[in-house]
Chain A
Amino acid sequence: MITFMNNSDSEEEPCNERTSLMSAESPPVPSYQDGLQASEAGEAQAHRKRRTGSSHSPNNIADGDMSDSGVPVRESALENEEEELTLKYGAKHVIMLFVPVTLCMIVVVATIKSVRFYTEKNGQLIYTPFSEDTPSVGQRLLNSVLNTIIMISVIVVMTVFLVLLYKYRCYKFIHGWLILSSLMLLFLFTYIYLGEVLKTYNVAMDYPTLFLVIWNFGAVGMICIHWKGPLQLQQAYLIMISALMALVFIKYLPEWSAWVILGAISIYDLMAVLCPKGPLRMLVETAQERNEPIFPALIYSSAMMWTVGMAKPDTAARGPSQQTWDAGEDGRDNHRSPSHADSQMSETRSPVPTRPITSFEELEEEERGVKLGLGDFIFYSVLVGKAAATASGDWNTTLACFVAILIGLCLTLLLLAVFKKALPALPISITFGLVFYFSTDNLVRPFMDTLASHQLYI
């Protein structure tokens, strides 16, 4: 097991799903777009596309018919309503995202603190070939920067590759890639994780039981993620695989490289989502042009929209909802796609536009949710997990990073509501997280320790 992970050429990087925070917007109803960056590591080259979109309440859709050809008078009257609903739903969406992000972080931190496997150094991935065991600080810094460059270029290459695949409609290849990577995550990594947890708590387990458990877990996971399944189960599985991926990163990325990679990824995310020629942006636009659904395997959605049989011809009139999706790459390259804005997808959200909605409305109301790419989950958890692992055993640092990331997420969602286009979810949160980690570890910790030893309270 362990050898498989060590420096083997065939070892593939877990797929990274990129998450971008995108809000789906239909023109009449502003929605949040979460561009998600999902980076997915998996053994195969799987690309996952993530897409997030959040839709607004169907009320507006119902009464107004927010189609492009909407009456101007109604438009302006509805706009105010929309904005207010935007804010209201914005708050709801924020909470809907807080819960899964928090859960993922809790799982990662709990594992890091209890299972010692994930904090032992057992080799490095082939994507970070330079070792950090060098005698001088300058050398170490140089090595970590080189590692970062290699990692980021791998990601860029994979993203571009994915975009090309998508452009030339090689869907089967992409599907196969995605399935292979989630297969690896669900079976292999779970097996390793379970093995380590059982070792830590000294619980005996026989192979047949283990096989049964893992087989069931993995099979149900595959079905839930790639096909249909109860929403909560799918969410739980996505959270679990994000946590597993984050744990792998925490274990196999050397210390300084991890921090530099986190910083570089947010910059890359920013560029790839906002620059006109960025790969993620192109991906989203292509998907928008084709009005196609993106692969659901890489996105965490807080509400499910089953569009089978719901696609209406006048959805086009309604306005496509935008989704942002990033293709995550599994496999050899850790590919991170920056979170990106969304492409307009008309068919996925299509409330019945012109009729007064009755049951459909409620259906849509519940189905409107926020989507966040799994890559974002993974990187947030990597940051918090690294803080828990390496911050001199201090819980304050972990807590500070946690709060910083959540506040960054809030701010990103706020900006999303203001700008109404896809925005990268990583930069703000990761910046806050990094700032707080380094400052809390070096500045706050001695202060709080001294205060606690004298039992003074501030």
Chain B
Amino acid sequence: AFFWLVSLLLSSLIWFIAVKASDPRDESLQKGLLIFGVMFSVLLQEAFRFLYYKLLRKAIEGLVALSEDGCSPISIQQMAYVAGVGFGLMSGAFSMINLLADTLGPGTVGIHGDSQLYFLTSAFMTMVLIFLHTFWGILFFHGCEHRRWWEVVAVVVMHLAVSGSTFCNPLYVGSLVPSYLLMAAAATWAYVLSGGSAQNLWRFLLCKS
């Protein structure tokens, strides 16, 4: 969570400088800067995810060295999951919490002509992003662990795609549907990578031991 926060800080610093240095009245330029800011932020988030991976790697090595039987008490997959959850929660919290505070106010959503589904779609979008961050964490760490760089690149591309799809808002079908599809794909991929299979799933659902 902290790492995500730092990446957000740096990316907003860049955007802020860019905005201050540019003409505030030029609408399309502002929009362009915003898009640039978003993309840059995504790249920075992934960079920080990588840094976090490096840090955790070192930590695991330290733990293994200290432990009695050569096994670390926490595996890299667990760490991947936790890292993903941390990123997701932080990004979700930052996206949602001001909105939630506003929901306590008067019920005038969309009264100026904006979409009335604003809160609803924001909630869904945030949820899908949190899930995605979790899955991306697992995929990313797995890719780094086994040196399969195409997995890492896939995660970055997916993130960019999801962020890019939000540019279609308020045409919500353009952003929510692809994001959910991507989430389903990422979920199955992460599940398979973590050792799951259709068999496991079936047994779990039938509550067999």
**Which A residues are closer than 8 A to B by beta carbons?**
80-81, 83-84, 87-88, 393-396, 399-400, 403-404, 407, 436, 439-440, 442-444, 446-448, 450-452, 454-458
Shortest CB-to-CB span from B41 to chain A, Å, is: 4
Q: Are A458 and B91 in contact (CB under 8 A)?
A: yes
Is B55 on the interface with A (CB-CB < 8 A)? no
Complex contact A458–B5 (CB within 8 A): no
Q: How far is the CA of A396 from the CA of B34 in the complex (A)?
A: 20
Measured between beta carbons, the chain A residues less than 8 angstroms from B63 are 87
Residues of A within 8 A of B166 (CB): 455-457
A403 touches B2 (CB 8 A): yes
Chain B interface residue count, Cβ-Cβ cutoff 8 angstroms? 43
Say whether B206 faces chain A, with CB atoms less than 8 Å apart.
no
B94 vs chain A, min Cβ distance (A) = 6
Chain B stretch 57-77: residues in CB contact (< 8 A) with chain A: 63, 66-68, 73
Partner of B15, one of A84, A447, A452, A457: A447
CB distance from B125 to the nearest CB of A (A): 6
Contact A458–B9 (Cβ < 8 Å): no
Binding site for A on B (CB under 8 A): 1-2, 5, 8-9, 11-13, 15-16, 19, 34, 37-38, 41-42, 45, 63, 66-68, 73, 90-91, 93-95, 97-99, 101, 118, 121-122, 125-126, 129, 162-163, 166-167, 169-170
CB < 8 Å: which of A400, A440, A454 contacts B34? A454
The listed residue (A436, A448, A454, A455) touching B94 by CB distance below 8 A is A448
- Contacts A87-B63, A455-B118, A455-B170 aside, 13 further interface pairs with beta carbons under 8 A come to A83-B66, A394-B98, A395-B98, A399-B93, A443-B16, A446-B16, A448-B94, A448-B98, A451-B34, A452-B98, A455-B125, A458-B41, A458-B42
Chain B residues whose CB sits within 8 angstroms of the CB of A442 once the complex forms: 16
Asked if residues B37 and A84 are in contact (CB atoms below 8 Å), the reply is: no
Are B9 and A450 in contact, CB atoms less than 8 angstroms apart?
no
For B13, what are the chain A residues with a Cβ–Cβ distance below 8 Å? 439, 443
| Residues on B with beta carbons closer than 8 Å to the beta carbon of A393 | 101
Q: Who on chain B is nearest to A88 by CB?
A: B73
| Number of CB contacts from chain A to chain B under 8 A | 90
Are B95 and A457 within 8 A (Cβ)? yes
Cα–Cα, bound, A393→B98 (Å): 9
Question: In the complex, A440 Cα to B91 Cα: how many Å?
Answer: 14
B8–A456 touching, CB < 8 Å:
no
Neighbouring A residues of B99 by C-beta, 8 Å: 452
A436-B9, A439-B13, A456-B34 as given contacts; A395 in contact with B68, CB under 8 Å: no
Task: Say how far A120's CB is from chain B's closest CB, in angstroms.
Answer: 21
Please, which residue of chain A has its CB at the minimum distance from the CB of B45? A458
| Inter-subunit contact B66/A396 (CB<8 Å) | no
The main secondary structure of chain A at its interface with chain B is helix
Closest to A410 in B: B2
User: In the assembled complex, which residues on chain B have CB atoms less than 8 Å from the CB atom of A458?
Assistant: 8, 11, 38, 41-42, 45, 91, 163
- Known A456-B34, A457-B125, A458-B42; judge A396-B94 contact (CB<8 A): yes
Q: In the complex, what residues of A have CB within 8 A of residue B2's CB? A: 403-404, 407
Interfacial chain A residues near B34, Cβ < 8 Å = 450-451, 454, 456
Q: Which residue of A lies closest to B122 (CB)?
A: A455
Given contacts A443-B12, A450-B34, A451-B38, contact A395 B95 (CB under 8 A): no
In contact, B73 and A403 (Cβ under 8 angstroms): no
CA distance A83 to B122 in the complex (A): 47
B5 to chain A: which residues have CB within 8 Å?
Answer: 400, 403-404, 436
Q: When chains A and B are docked, how far (Å) is the Cα of A193 from the Cα of B45?
A: 43
Q: How far is the CB of A38 from chain B (nearest CB, A)?
A: 26
- Expressed in whole angstroms, the Cα–Cα distance for A446 and B15 within the complex equals 10
Taking CB atoms, residues of chain B closer than 8 Å to A444 are 8-9, 12
In angstroms, Cα B170 to Cα A152, docked, is 54
A88 to B68, CA, bound (A): 13
Contact at A81–B94, with CB atoms within 8 Å?
A: no
A457 to B95, CA, bound (A): 8
Which A residues lie within 8 Å of B94 (CB)? Answer: 396, 399, 448
The answer on a CB contact under 8 Å between A395 and B101 is yes
CB-CB nearest in chain A for B74: A91
Complex interface: chain B residues within 8 A of A439 (CB): 9, 13
Min CB–CB distance A89 → chain B (angstroms): 12
Residue from B1, B45, B66, B93 within 8 A of A84 (CB atoms): B66
Min C-beta distance of A180 to chain B, whole Å: 41
Q: Is the CB of B90 within 8 A of A457?
A: no
Tell me if A87 and B66 are in contact (CB < 8 A).
yes
Please determine whether A396 and B98 come into contact, CB atoms closer than 8 angstroms: yes
Contact check, A456 vs B98: say whether CB atoms are below 8 A apart: no
CB distance from A94 to the nearest CB of B (A): 14
Minimum CB–CB distance from B35 to chain A (whole Å) comes to 8
Which residues of the other chain, A, contact B73 by a CB distance below 8 angstroms? 88
When the two chains form their complex, are residues A447 and B95 in contact, meaning their CB atoms are under 8 A apart?
no
